[in-house]
Amino acid sequence: MNYRKAIGADLNEMRKIRVASELLSVDFAEHLENFIVIEDAGEIIGLGGFDVYDDSGLVRSLVVIPKYRGKGIAKNIDRRIEDNAYHLSIKALYFLTESAVEYFQKLGFAVQQRIKAPISVMNTTQFRELCPSSVTFMFRNFKRFGYIK
């Protein structure tokens, strides 16, 4: 398996995986430089990434195709997302989810009230328009790097 930065040629396959996983597939390409894909035998089997807003990162995806789930791949993608965010001086990651609250709690995210989101995150299309207010808002600071918000 090969983890690498996503490139423009990956977009169609990334969209297919997101749609098949019932994730939004609009406007994530704008932040492609912060996405990671994992390949097995030349096939993209998972991806993850985030948007940058000031010193905050808004995780946009963390998905692995069904036949590869349960093998720690998403956890490895998450670790790479956090490493990339750290190198961009991101202080915390935020996430909006309808169905994966328990999984992201295992990755160290905590449920947070939407009103506590940074203004830069609140002003995103994702936060304001694409994800309804019923979606769970989550947060994780970077304790392992000594960052605490």
Interval 113-122: pLDDT, tens: 999 999 999 9
Q: Which residues contact 123 (CB under 8 A, 6 or more apart)?
A: 53
Domain of 102 in residue numbering reads as 2-145
141: left (phi over 0), alpha (psi -120 to 50) or beta: beta
Mean pLDDT of 21-29: 73
Report how far residue 6's alpha carbon sits from residue 113's, in angstroms, rounded to the nearest whole number.
Answer: 31
Asked if 1 and 41 count as a contact pair (C-beta separation under 8 A), the reply is no
User: Residue 42 above 70 pLDDT?
Assistant: yes
Asked if 96 and 126 count as a contact pair (C-beta separation under 8 A), the reply is yes
pLDDT score of 18: 87
User: Residue 87 above 80 pLDDT?
Assistant: yes
CATH of the domain at 103: 3.40.630.30
Confidence of residue 148 (pLDDT cuts 50, 70, 90): very low
Q: How many domains does the chain have?
A: 1
Q: Which residues contact 119 (CB under 8 A, 6 or more apart)?
A: none
pLDDT score of 128: 80
Residue scoring higher pLDDT (85 or 27): 85
Asked if 59 and 94 count as a contact pair (C-beta separation under 8 A), the reply is yes
Confidence of residue 60 (pLDDT cuts 50, 70, 90): confident
